Amino acid sequence: MREKLKSTYYFLQTILRKDRRLLHRIKRENLMVVLNLHQVSPHENAFWPPLHPVVFDNLLGFLKDNFEVTLFRDLAKATGSMPRAILSFDDGYYNFIEYALPILDKHGVSANMNIIPACVESGRPIWNIQLYDFLNAAPRSLVNEIRLPGFSYKLENNNSRDKLLYGLQISRFLKQRSRTERREMGHSLENVMKKGEFSLTRMMSRDDVDDIAEKCQIGVHSYSHESMEFEDNAFFADDLEKCRTYFGDELKLPLDTYAFPNGSFRDEQVETLRACGIKNILLVGEDYAKNGEDVIRRFTIYGPSITETKFQALGINKKI
> What pLDDT, on the 0 to 100 scale, is given for residue 80?
73
pLDDT above 80 (res 78): no
Question: Beta strand pairing status for 295-300 and 280-285?
Answer: parallel
pLDDT in tens, 218-233: 999 999 999 999 999 9
Distance CA 35, CA 154 (A): 32
Q: Which residue has the higher pLDDT, 108 or 291?
A: 108
**Averaged pLDDT, 64-71:** 97
pLDDT in tens, 136-154: 999 999 999 999 999 999 9
* Cβ-contact 96, 89 below 8 angstroms: yes
* Euclidean distance between the first and the last CA atom of the chain, given in angstroms as a whole number: 28
Domains and CATH numbers, the chain: 2-123+201-314 (3.20.20.370), 133-193 (no CATH)
Distance CA 51, CA 131 (A): 19
> What separation in angstroms does the CA of 222 have from each of 69, 182, 227, 278?
25, 18, 10, 12
Distance CA 111, CA 86 (A): 7
pLDDT in tens, 242-266: 999 999 999 999 999 999 999 999 9
pLDDT above 90 (res 77): no
Which residues neighbour 153 within 8 Å (Cβ) at sequence distance 6 or greater? Answer: 166, 169, 170, 173
Has this prediction a pTM greater than 0.75? yes
> What pLDDT, on the 0 to 100 scale, is given for residue 260?
98
**Averaged pLDDT, 39-53:** 96
